[in-house]
Amino acid sequence: MKNLILALTLSLFIFNISGQNHIELVCGTGQAGLLTPHGIAIDKNQNIYIADMGTHQILEIDMEKRVKSIAGTGKPGSGLSELNKPAAVLVHAGHIWVADLNNHQIKIIPLH
């Protein structure tokens, strides 16, 4: 059975649901600086990527639950390094594809 990653936008929690009875809190209020988590993607190494519309950033959570911003400045903008309400993320071919809602753009960001 594959894991299900669940973002509860109003409560600001990210859960990993695996197996029949295992629910693990990945991060939550105060831990990751989440404001409005919206889209989620997972890479082949099980890193979780979150499009946070409220902080205008893409956050990465690794297997040790360390959180870091990998795109966006924390403020809305339309420059190359800025996002304005990123709504969705997709990991594909070594890149993160971001639906940058208010800029009406798809941004492609190389992974490490």
Which residue has better confidence, 34 or 55?
A: 55
Biggest distance spanned by C-alpha atoms of the chain: 44
Distance between CA atoms of residues 32 and 10, nearest Å: 15
- Note whether 99 and 64 are within 8 A (CB): no
| Most confident listed range (20-29, 48-57, 91-100) | 91-100
Q: Domains plus CATH for the chain?
A: 4-110 (2.120.10.30)
Output phi, psi for 106, to 5 deg.
-110, 120
Output phi, psi for 103, to 5 deg.
-95, -5
Eight-class DSSP state of 79: S
Burial class (CB in 10 A: 0-12, 13-18, 19+), 102: middle
Collapsed DSSP state (helix, strand, coil) of residue 103:
helix
Q: What is the pTM of this model?
A: 0.81
The pLDDT score that the predictor gives to residue 32 is 55
Lowest mean per-residue pLDDT among 1-5, 46-50, 85-89? 1-5
Distance between CA atoms of residues 1 and 10, nearest Å: 27
